[in-house]
C-alpha cells in the first residue's frame, strides 16, 4: 500500500512500523522569534512551513477553554487570577459554562483532507490541573488543594462535564486521531503535586472523560513539560496512553520509558538544545533515539518549540537528517 501522512501516524501509535518512514512532525508551533530570524535569513514570508521543510501536515484543534474569554472581565488587578474563593467562583460559574463548543467552519476542509490521509488531526482539552490554575493563579492554585478542596473538586467536575459535551459536539463533524490534555504538571525535578493529590482530585475526572474519548477511537495523550517519569504509572492507571513532549533537559529518557512501559505512546524527545550545534551533534541525538524509533509507538520531534538560536540553515540540516533517520528506523 502507499503510505499516507495519517496511515504512518496511526501505524506507529499501534506499535507497527510504516513501510517507508516514520512521521516527520513539528508538534508545537514555531516561536515567532525563531521564524522572525528565519525570515531575516531568507525564508519566504508567504511560505507554508509544512511544505517548505517537508513536514507531515498536522493540525491542532482546541475546544474553547471553558469560556475563558468570557471571564476576562473578572480578572483581578492584584495578580494573575480570576477567583480567590467559593463566592468568586459562584459569581462567574454561569458565564463560564454558558455555551458549548461552537462548530468551526474550517473543520469541513480538515475532515476532507483527513479522509484522504493527508493530515494528522488532534484535539486539545484544558486539563484538570491546568484549568483550576487558570482560575486561581499559579501559587494560590497549589494551596487550594488544601485550603478549598471541595471547591477544587467542583471546578474539576464542572470542566469534566463541559469537556464531555465538547467531545460529543465535535465528533459530529470530525473525529480527531488523537488528543492531548494540556496540563504542565511537572517541572525539571518531577511532579508539582503528590500522588495522593493526583488520585483524589484528578484521577476521577480522567476516568470519566477518557472512556468517552475511546468511544470515538481518539488516542488520549497527556501534554506536560518537565520530568514526567514518576507520573507515567499514574497516567496509565487512569487510561491515558501516551505523553508529549518528553523534555530531555528535564532528564526524560525515551529509551528507559519504552523499556519499562512498552505500550506507552510518545511524541517528542529530541533535545532542542543540540539543533544549533552542527551535523555531528544533530546526528548523535538521532542515534540516541534510534532504538526507540525502531520499536514503534514513538515519534521523534523537537522536545518543545524550536529555539531562536537555531538558524534557517541549522533547521534545514536537522530536517534532512530527520528524514534520513525516519527511513532508517523502518528498514
What domains lie within the chain, and their CATH numbers? 1-47+252-331 (no CATH), 63-244 (3.20.20.210)
Mapping DSSP onto H, E and C, the string for 77-93 reads CCCCCCCCCHHHHHHHH
Residues of the chain with pLDDT under 50: 69, 77-78
**Cell (9 digits) for 101:** 463548543
Strand partners, 223: 182, 244
Which pLDDT does position 105 carry in this prediction? 78
**306, 31 contact by CB (below 8 A):** yes
3-state secondary structure of 57: coil
**43, 312 contact by CB (below 8 A):** yes
DSSP H or E segment with residue 283: helix 279-295
- DSSP string computed for 186-237: EETTEESS-HHHIIIIIHHHHHHHHHHHHHTTPEEEEE--S--GGGHHHHHH
Which pLDDT does position 62 carry in this prediction? 85
Whole-prediction pTM value? Answer: 0.94
Give the C-alpha separation, 155 to 144, whole Å.
11
Give the C-alpha separation, 164 to 132, whole Å.
17
Give the C-alpha separation, 59 to 188, whole Å.
28
Strand partners, 298: 266
pLDDT by residue (tens digit) across 109-126?
999 999 999 999 999 999
Amino acid at each position: 500500500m502507499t503510505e499516507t501522512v495519517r496511515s504512518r501516524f496511526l501505524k506507529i501509535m499501534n506499535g507497527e512500523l510504516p513501510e517507508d518512514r516514520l512521521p516527520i512532525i513539528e508538534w508545537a508551533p514555531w516561536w515567532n522569534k525563531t521564524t522572525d530570524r528565519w525570515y531575516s535569513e531568507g525564508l519566504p514570508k508567504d511560505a507554508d512551513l509544512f511544505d517548505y521543510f517537508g513536514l507531515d501536515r498536522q493540525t491542532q484543534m482546541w475546544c474553547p477553554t471553558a469560556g475563558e474569554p468570557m471571564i476576562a472581565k473578572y480578572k483581578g488587578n492584584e495578580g494573575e487570577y480570576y477567583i480567590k474563593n467559593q463566592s468568586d467562583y459562584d459569581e462567574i460559574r454561569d458565564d463560564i459554562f454558558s455555551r458549548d463548543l461552537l462548530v468551526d467552519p474550517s473543520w469541513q476542509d480538515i475532515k476532507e483532507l483527513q479522509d484522504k490521509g493527508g493530515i494528522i488531526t488532534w484535539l486539545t482539552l484544558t486539563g484538570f490541573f491546568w484549568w483550576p490554575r487558570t482560575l486561581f493563579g499559579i501559587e494560590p492554585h497549589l494551596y487550594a488543594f488544601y485550603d478549598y478542596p471541595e471547591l477544587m473538586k467542583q471546578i474539576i467536575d464542572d470542566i469534566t462535564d463541559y469537556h464531555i459535551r465538547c467531545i460529543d459536539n465535535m465528533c459530529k463533524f470530525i473525529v480527531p486521531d488523537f488528543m492531548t490534555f494540556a496540563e504542565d504538571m511537572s517541572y525539571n525535578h518531577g511532579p508539582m503535586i503528590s500522588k495522593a493529590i493526583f488520585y483524589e482530585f484528578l484521577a476521577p475526572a480522567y476516568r470519566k472523560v477518557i472512556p468517552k474519548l475511546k468511544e470515538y477511537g481518539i488516542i488520549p495523550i497527556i501534554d506536560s513539560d518537565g520530568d514526567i517519569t514518576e507520573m507515567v504509572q499514574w497516567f496509565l492507571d487512569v487510561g491515558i496512553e501516551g505523553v508529549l513532549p518528553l523534555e530531555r533537559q528535564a532528564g526524560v529518557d525515551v529509551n528507559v520509558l519504552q523499556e519499562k512501559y512498552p505500550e506507552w505512546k510518545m511524541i517528542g524527545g529530541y533535545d532542542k538544545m543540540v539543533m544549533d550545534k552542527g551535523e555531528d551533534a544533530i546526528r548523535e541525538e538521532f542515534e540516541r533515539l534510534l532504538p526507540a524509533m525502531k520499536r514503534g509507538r514513538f515519534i521523534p520531534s523537537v522536545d518543545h518549540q524550536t529555539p531562536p538560536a537555531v538558524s534557517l540553515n541549522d533547521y534545514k540540516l536537522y530536517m534532512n537528517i530527520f528524514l534520513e533517520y525516519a527511513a532508517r528506523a523502518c528498514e
